[in-house]
Each structure stands twice: as C-alpha cells, then as structure tokens.
Amino acid sequence: MRRRNFIGGIAVTTAWPAVALAQEPVRRIGMLSNTAADALGQSGVTAFQQALEQFGWRDGRNVRFDVRWGENDPDRDRKYAAELVALGPDVILASGTPAVTALQKATRTVPIVFVRVSDPVGAGIVDSPARPGGNATGFMNFEYSISGKWLELLKQIAPEVTRAIVLRDPANPAGNAEFGALQTAAPSLGIELRPADTRDAAGIERAVTAFAANSGVGGMIATPSATVSGNRELIVALASRYKLPAVYPYRYMVTSGGLIAYGPDPIDQYRRAAGYVDRVLKGEKAADLPVQAPTKFSLIVNLKTAKALGLSVPQSLLATADEVIE
C-alpha cells in the first residue's frame, strides 16, 4: 500500500511494509499442585516462574500459566487435572504424587514435568529413572538412603530415645522402602521402631497419642507424604504436647516449631524443573529426559524447641547445620 504526502508542494511517496511483524506465539503451561495455595505452595510457583524467565519465558509475553491447587484432596486433583488438560496446555508442571497420577489418568499425551515425587517408578509414573517412557519426567523428592540419616539425627539430638513412632502414609508408594531403610539403621542405634500407617488427621492423632502413652523414652520420625505435609501443624503440636523429640523431612515443619529436619530443598526442585519445561517447549520429549534425584540437602535445627524438650544440642550437630533457629 502506498500513499502520497505533500510537503512544501513536493510529492513524497512512502512505502508501508506489506506484512506486519509476526507476533511471538504464546505457549500454555498448566500447573497442578496437590498442596494448598498458601505461602509455601506459592513460593514454589514463584521460584518456577522466575527460573523460567531466565530461559526467556515471560508471563503475558510468550507464555501463560493456568494454576490449580489440589489441597491434599484426591477429588480436587482429579477435577483440576481434567480442567487443565481440557485447556490444551503445551506442558504441565505437577507437584506431588497425587497430582501426577491424577494428570496421567486424564492424559497420556500432554508432557508432564513433576517435582516432589518420592517414588515415580513405584507409583507407576515412569518406567525407570533413566528412561521414563510415557509422558512424564521430573525430579524425585527423596532418596531412600537418607531415611537412615533421620534415625541417626534423632539419636544424636536425643541419645536416650529407645523407641520411635514412624508416621507413614500407606498410599505413598515410597513408604515401605523408607521404612525398610529405617529398619536397617535401627538395630545399630538401639531404637525400636513402631510404624503408624496414617491417612488423615484423626488417624495421626490416635497413633501418636497411643504411642506416647506407652513409649518410655520415645521419639518420632515423620516420613514425607502428602498426609504429613497437609497435617504438619498437627504433627508438630502433638510432638510438643507429648514431649517427643521428632525428625521431620521438611524445613517448614521446623520453622513452625518442630525440632529438627533433614531433606532436599523443595524450592530448588522447582527451579530445576524450569529447565526441563524449557526443553519440552523447545521440542524435546518428556520420555527422553531422565528423572533426577535431589542434589541439595539441608539440615535445620530449632534450639528453642530443643530447650523446651530439655535437650542439649551437641555442638557437632550445630556445626553441620545449614540453619539454626533460636
């Protein structure tokens, strides 16, 4: 198209581009977390989005996010999984085993990158860590070998403990393997283990109350699961009520008043997941990206809680802690 401009009596012809610059396509990323949309859950989403920006993916410019929160409710997970798949995402970020399994029931074609999954093989999410197959890959939440470390820490911070209740979720496929690792470590530490299969708040309270009534010098190990995460405040409160030294898998349980925690940094998993999502958006297949184990672990100790329990934390333990809460 051409138009004629007259400037000072001189005709000037201006040529306009025949085709406007192409607008950058917007990709769609679904996000499903089996946790609640609280500060903890939001921190993972924020870390993921910030990490994606480092790869050039910016919300509102070339990518949009559809976020759903399962709130540790299987029915919500199923509902939101179906909603997200219906939106036609290019890839979905899933947090927690229940979220991933709900998504895989809704689709076997949309790529899924997961975080905070303890046993993706046992849960039937992938064929193997090296060759996931199917439409999902991602980042494991724990390695079974660190289960023994939880028991060692309990004995180190509370040497008099001779019995420990182990909270585990029977719906979590990693539960048996984690308990097996604890059983292997227990005899050398002189600790008798009492497993407690807990599915909800009422079950947790019954199990801990019964154990505390007959525990002698007892302690507690809370293994990672959606049940433990969703009932973290109750578990910490029960440990305080019954004066049970307890080891937790998550930092936030110690910042909420728990005694000691050891485990991988969950926020780091979200940052690493951004790299996999970037690769999927650029054409790689989830089936070809190996599942990765955690690489960054943290030890957190709450001195205020230790004092309330009458425990003297060894200096050697404090020296190796990544964070000490006073």
Please give the Cα distance from 120 to 105 (Å, whole number). Answer: 15
pLDDT given at position 292: 95
pLDDT given at position 45: 95
Q: Using 50, 70 and 90 to split pLDDT, how confident is the model at 307?
A: very high
pLDDT given at position 214: 83
Q: Using 50, 70 and 90 to split pLDDT, how confident is the model at 4?
A: very low
260-264 and 297-302 as β-strands: parallel, antiparallel, unpaired? antiparallel
Please give the Cα distance from 265 to 127 (Å, whole number). Answer: 25
Same fold, 27-142+265-295 and 146-264+298-325: yes
Report the length, in residues, of the chain.
Answer: 326
Task: Give bridge partners of residue 3 from the DSSP assignment.
Answer: 14
Residue with more model confidence, 27 or 17: 27
Mean pLDDT on 131-151: 90
Mean pLDDT on 44-51: 96
CB 247, CB 154: distance < 8 Å: yes
Q: How many CA atoms lie within 13 A of 3 on its CB side?
A: 5
Domain-wise residue ranges, the chain: 27-142+265-295, 146-264+298-325
* Residue 303 clears pLDDT 70, i.e. is over it: yes
Mean pLDDT on 205-209: 96
Mean pLDDT on 80-106: 97
pLDDT given at position 137: 98
Mean pLDDT on 124-143: 93
pLDDT digits (tens, 9 = 90+) for 98-127: 999 999 999 999 999 999 998 899 889 999
The domain made up of 27-142+265-295 has a fold known as Rossmann fold (3.40.50)
Please give the Cα distance from 71 to 66 (Å, whole number). Answer: 16
Q: Using 50, 70 and 90 to split pLDDT, how confident is the model at 128?
A: very high
Position 23, amino acid:
Q
pLDDT given at position 21: 44
Residue with more model confidence, 176 or 234: 234
Average pLDDT, the chain: 90
Residue with more model confidence, 170 or 233: 233
Q: What angle do CA 89, 91, 97 make, to 5 degrees?
A: 115
The domain made up of 146-264+298-325 has a fold known as Rossmann fold (3.40.50)
* Residue 22 clears pLDDT 60, i.e. is over it: no
- Phi, psi (5° rounding) for residue 117? -115, 125
The two three-digit tokens of residue 222, written as one number: 């809370």
pLDDT given at position 280: 98
* Residue 229 clears pLDDT 80, i.e. is over it: yes
pLDDT given at position 215: 65
pLDDT digits (tens, 9 = 90+) for 58-73: 999 999 999 999 998 9
Position 304, amino acid:
K
The two three-digit tokens of residue 100, written as one number: 């991933």
Least confident of 147-151, 170-174, 243-247, 271-275: 170-174
